[in-house]
Amino acid sequence: MSDTSGNSGGNGGWTPDQPMVSIKDVHKSFGDLEVLKGVSMDIMKGECVCIIGPSGSGKSTLIRCVNALNDIQGGSITVEGQEVNVPNLDKLELRKKVGMVFQQYNLFPHKTALENIMMAPIHVLK
């Protein structure tokens, strides 16, 4: 069973045979515009997933919801058994597990691509 308490330190009893990220019937609207309409998927540890679609189809919104940057109106998102859409979520703990690169990213020109993407985990997980 998943722990829906949003407790900061735990993984909600998550085990590697369960989805690392589970998205179930997620709905997200901005005013009258429904951007995510019942999106569901499970992502297992080690799985590589691409979210593709035309501009404005909700790709970035979905990823922002997984990272608790956007609230959802319905459904459920769990990361390693931890419910993301709860008021007492420790967002720092979540973001130690979930990373994202923004569409309008800026790289440091004096660093390699690998050094650029390694910077956040190195500094956050100190």
Residue 9 domain flag: no
Q: How confident is the model at residue 39 (pLDDT cuts 50, 70, 90)?
A: very high
Residue 116 domain flag: yes
Residue 1 domain flag: no
Q: How confident is the model at residue 14 (pLDDT cuts 50, 70, 90)?
A: confident
CATH number at residue 97: 3.40.50.300
Residue 63 domain flag: yes
The contacts found for 36-44 with CB under 8 angstroms, 24 or more apart, are: 36/61, 36/62, 36/65, 36/72, 38/75, 39/75, 40/75, 43/19, 44/19, 44/20
- Token pair in block for residue 104: 């309008």
Residue 4 domain flag: no
* DSSP letter for each residue of 24-38: EEEEEEETTEEEEEE
Residue 6 domain flag: no
> b vs e for 34-61, b when ≥16 Cβ sit within 10 Å of the residue's Cβ?
ebbeebeeeeeeeeeeeeeeeeeebbbb
What's the domain count of the chain? 1
pTM given for the model: 0.74
* pLDDT tens digits, 78-98: 999 999 999 999 998 898 888
Domain that holds residue 53: 21-124
Residue 16 domain flag: no
Q: Between residues 40 and 51, which one has the greater pLDDT?
A: 40
Residue 69: name the closest of 39, 46, 40, 89 by CA.
Answer: 89
